[in-house]
Structure 1
């Protein structure tokens, strides 16, 4: 029986090609094309843009992106076992799917996007998701090569990305995301939607780059947030000691008895520019 897009149901594809999810690759497959289509729609109108997808696996989200009109999908996949399934999708959508087999952490993604308006949409493998996001948030050139990012994370990580100052989830990830993007949680995905089901709920996060974030050196901001949140229960005069705490606090007028989670993004930028 054909699926919504005329291709075999994903469960059949997985069985046919022996694509059991590998924990070592952080794989959890979404089989419901209605749900993956909801993710694709969360990324907005894709008809005039290319989509970068990391970790397509057997192609559940890939199919939804193409079904929902993505002009082109560039998919990066480590697992060679997925090649036949992805080739079948490419044949079904001639000229619209390019699959690159390799490690996304070692791929020059910016070069792949050269000359194309691009959006990043991915059910990221859990074991590399946060690292990839930090790389995309800390690119040296800004505005970045992508128009938006629509990404799936464990809900706990998603809450850290969108966290506001003063909340328990607020930390380095919230500062970086809040500094350079407008980020929001679009919706949650329950464990039972996946094969195999993870132990936690997942969330779709949509991030749109700010045209003109407050100016700061991205590497120095990384050092400041790492120091501040590395000892988040300590006062700033103690946690920032290794990078010249008292001097930075005096220069910015920030009370040294405060703790990192109370600082706004603008105050972290001020500390960064005082280093």
Structure 2
């Protein structure tokens, strides 16, 4: 079965840089209509603004933690492309946390950004996907893919809040998959590590020694580029994965096979 997504419409959040940008570009290159969404309007304009008048690329800038912004994102997508078939929840944030500091708000912050934003956008997009089937009980409605991290199951120093938010996102993926199955909306995830995300890129600039440490604890011996997830996400978005839902695929170069507690999981 083909992995084709040609002619489908996708919303990709976190699309201004890193992994989200790679996925959005890849989808556009494969013939999908793509709405690049992120908070950073300048980066969006730089990355895809030159193609704003093209047939299959648009961008939307706004704070996706706000409910009205999410509604506006969906409206902008429908105005541009008339429908939505794929949602990639790629907007993520990572913050250090101190479990002994009762004033530390990182857990609330990351649950809001990494879990609630994905949940709320998934809900309104799923409703639109279901509506588009026009009552056809055999027609696939759409595919939602949540980008998570192996931090959801690897205990890492100073990353408690991030790990909690990723674990919650993985459970949301499974729970929503069950709830959406009768409506033929599939929900899957990708938990990745040892991949050059925007956060990891910035971290390695500040602490270059981390590169050797990450590589040493990754069986494939390298940090993958941000495009390492594109084919996996395309598979989950396509009809080739039509009987797959509620799964969180691991893409980490074998990192979780070793799992020493002190090694960074990015």
Normalised TM-score (structure 2): 0.45
Greater per-residue helix proportion: 2
Q: Larger relative contact order (C-alpha < 8 A, sep ≥ 6)?
A: 2
